[in-house]
Structure 1
Amino acid sequence: MREAQFLVVDTLAATVDELCRKFGVWKTTGALILAAWRRRQMKNQMSHLPNRMLRDIGLPESENAPGEARFFPWDVRF
């Protein structure tokens, strides 16, 4: 049974050509750019974390950390 099964793999150019014919050049280009942008954003970035979270994970505090002016109930010291 295994010998009878064949994987059909198109080249990248053929796949992109098929997508362009089906959805159009601009939609395909936009989708590729969006996919690349989302892939880029999946990396772990610490720049958006407030200082309290940076302290919790053992990183140095940032001078321009966002959200430091907001009040959080868990910041209250007893």
Structure 2
Amino acid sequence: MREAQSLASDTLAATVDDLCQKFGAWKTTHALMRAVWRHRQMKNHISSLSNRMRRDIGLPEDSSPESRFSVWDIRL
């Protein structure tokens, strides 16, 4: 199966060239930029984590005034 896949696959440059021939350079570039942007947005961000969650995973607490208070932060 792997040998058949490697025979059927083109190089990246040939694939991009085919896409540019079929759809045009601007549409291909736009689709590539959208894909990169979507991939960038899927990364995890720690800015929305509460201080408790930050402590649980070993990160320093957020000391900014706009850090949110959570019921889970109450220690008994």
| TM-score, with structure 2 as normaliser | 0.58
Match of 2:34, SS state, is: helix
Q: Does 1:50 align with 2:50?
A: yes
Aligned counterpart, 1:23: 23
The Cα shift of 1:54 comes to 0.5
C-alpha distance in 2, partners of 1:33/1:65? 36
Q: Does structure 1 conserve the Cα–Cα contact (< 8 Å) formed by 2:54 and 2:60?
A: yes
Identity %: 60
The Cα shift of 1:43 comes to 4.4
Match of 2:68, SS state, is: coil
The Cα shift of 1:50 comes to 2.2
Q: Which runs of 4+ in 1 moved over 4 A?
A: 41-44, 72-78
Q: Does structure 2 conserve the Cα–Cα contact (< 8 Å) formed by 1:49 and 1:66?
A: no
Q: 1:75 to 1:15 in 2, by over 3 A?
A: same
| TM-score, with structure 1 as normaliser | 0.57
Note the residue ranges of structure 2 that are not aligned, 5 or more in a row. Answer: none
Q: 1:20 to 1:65 in 2, by over 3 A?
A: farther
Between the two proteins, the alignment pairs up a number of residues equal to 73
The Cα shift of 1:57 comes to 1.9
Note the residue ranges of structure 1 that are not aligned, 5 or more in a row. Answer: none
Match of 1:53, SS state, is: helix
